Amino acid sequence: MLMKNSFIFILVAILTIFLGEFSNPIKASSNPNFVYTDGTHFALQGKPFYLNGFNAYWLMYMASDPSTRNKVTTTFQQASRYKMNVARTWAFTDGGFRPLQSAPGVYNEQMFQGLDFVISEAKKYKIHLILGLVNNWEALGGKKQYVEWARQRGQQLTSEDDFFTNPMIKEFYKNHVKVVLTRVNTITKVAYKDDPTILSWELMNEPRCTSDISGKTIQPERYVGTKEGSSGTELPGLLGSTPAAQDKWASQWIQAHINDSKLLKKPLLIAEFGMSSNTTGFSVAKRDNYFGKIYGTIFNCAKNGGPCGGGLFWQLLDQGMGSFGDGYEVVLQEEDTNCPIKSVVIERGQCSESGDRSISARHRNPSITLSSTGTLLLK
C-alpha cells in the first residue's frame, strides 16, 4: 500500500512470480523445501500449503540498524505465536534516506545486511517471505525514482509510465532483480534465489500503467504472474457507503477473483487487506469484524477446494513504532487474544492440516516458478 487515504483497502494477488523472454538464465538450486504451485493451490512437500500472514514493509529498514533490529525478531516471534507463516516485505528502497540502492547499481551494504537478517530470522520462525522488487508508488523510490535516474542520464522522459518501456530503465530494473536474487546472505551463506524461505518475488507493488489500461505494457505475453489491486479511493462507487454494502462489495470482489483464478488455474492470494483507523466510526471491533469476514471468505473457499491460498493483512507493526503507522496498523501485543485474527488462524490451520486434496509433484508447472522447480529465468 503506502499510498493515499483509502477507506477500506483490499488487494488481491494471483501469484506473483516470474518472468518471460529470457536470455541469461539464473538457475536456482532444486530444493524440496520450496513452496510450489500445483494448479490453483500452493503446496509444500506434497501437501497443500496455506499462507496466513502479514505485511511489514519496514523489516529491512529496522534490521539494518543494530538499535532497532530486535523489532524484526519480536515481530516474527509474535507472528509465529499466532500461527502465521508468511510476511510480505520490500527488497528495495531506491534513493532517498538510507536506501538499499542509492543510484542505479549502487548498493548500501548495511541495508543489504539488514535484509540478510530479515531472511535469516524469518527462517528461524518458519515464516516465508514474499519480497517486492520495486514500488509502483513513489514511497521509498519506486518507478518514479527509476525514471528520474534515467532523466539524469540524459533520457528524454515525460511520464512515470516510461518505467515500463524505456530500455535504460529496463536495464536498471533487471540489474536490481539480478543483484537481489544473486545476493549471498552474509548470515545464512545461501543465495537469495536458492533460499526456500523466500516464497515468491513480486515484480512490483501494485503495478499500474495508466497510459495503457489494457495492462499489456505491464503484462506482456510471456509474463506469467499477475497482480492487481484496488482501494476505496480508486473505486468509490463500487465500495458502497454502508457497512453492509461494503461487505457485499468486498465479497463480490473476492468472488470475481476466485472465478478468474479458476480460469487462470492459479492460486489466489489476498495479499493486502485492512481497515484504517481514520475511517469514520472506526473501532477495533469493526476492524476485527471486517478481518473475520475476509478470513471467513478465504477459509470457506479453501475448505471447498477453491483457489484461495491465503491472506495477508496490511500491516503489522511492533510496539513503539508509532511513526510507521498509516492508520492500518495492527500491533499484536496490543490485541485482545480473542480477536478474529487468532481464531481464524486456528481454523485455517486445521484446514491446511486436514489436506484432503492430494497433490502430486508431477503436476508442478516448471514454467512459472522459482519456488517449485528451483528454476528462475531472467532476461
Ligand X SMILES: *[C@@H]1O[C@H](CO)[C@@H](O)[C@H](O)[C@H]1NC(C)=O
Which residues of the shown chain bind ligand X in the complex (CB under 6 A)?
A: 5, 252, 255-256, 259, 276, 278, 326-327
Which residues face 132 on adjacent strands?
90, 202
Q: Which is nearer to ligand X, 224 or 264 (CB)?
A: 264
243 grid coordinates: 457497512
Q: Which of 171, 272, 335, 353 is catalytic?
A: 272
End-to-end CA distance of the chain: 28
Q: How far is the CB of 338 from ligand X (least distance, A)?
A: 26
Residue 322 C-beta: closest distance to ligand X, Å: 9
CB of 290 to ligand X, least distance (A): 15
Contact 166, 335 (CB under 8 A): no
Report which secondary-structure segment, H or E, holds 354: helix 340-354
Pick between residue 8 and residue 345 the one whose CB is nearest to ligand X.
8
Residue 333 CB coordination number (10 Å): 11
In the complex, the smallest distance separating the C-beta of residue 354 from ligand X, rounded to whole angstroms, is 25
In the complex with ligand X, the residue whose CB is nearer, 185 or 315, is 315
Give the nearer residue to ligand X in terms of CB position, either 223 or 253: 253
DSSP string, 117-181: HHHHHHHHTT-EEEEE--BSSSTTSHHHHHHHHHHHTT-----GGGGGT-HHHHHHHHHHHHHHH
- Among candidate residues 121, 160, 202, 206, the one labeled active-site is 206
Q: Is 272 a catalytic residue?
A: yes
Task: Report, in Å, the least distance between residue 151 CB and ligand X.
Answer: 29
Residue 137 CB, nearest approach to ligand X (Å): 13
Give CA–CA dist 34/15, Å, rounded.
15
Q: Is the dihedral of CA 269, 24, 104, 207 positive or negative?
A: negative
C-alpha cell at 311: 491472506
Nearest CA among 203, 146, 211 for reference residue 180: 203
Smaller CB separation from ligand X, 249 or 299: 249
CA atoms within 13 A on the CB side of 28: 32
Nearer to ligand X, 5 or 241 (CB): 5
CB-based contact 120:188 (threshold 8 Å): yes
Is residue 87 helix, strand or coil?
strand
Q: Active-site residues: which are they?
A: 206, 272
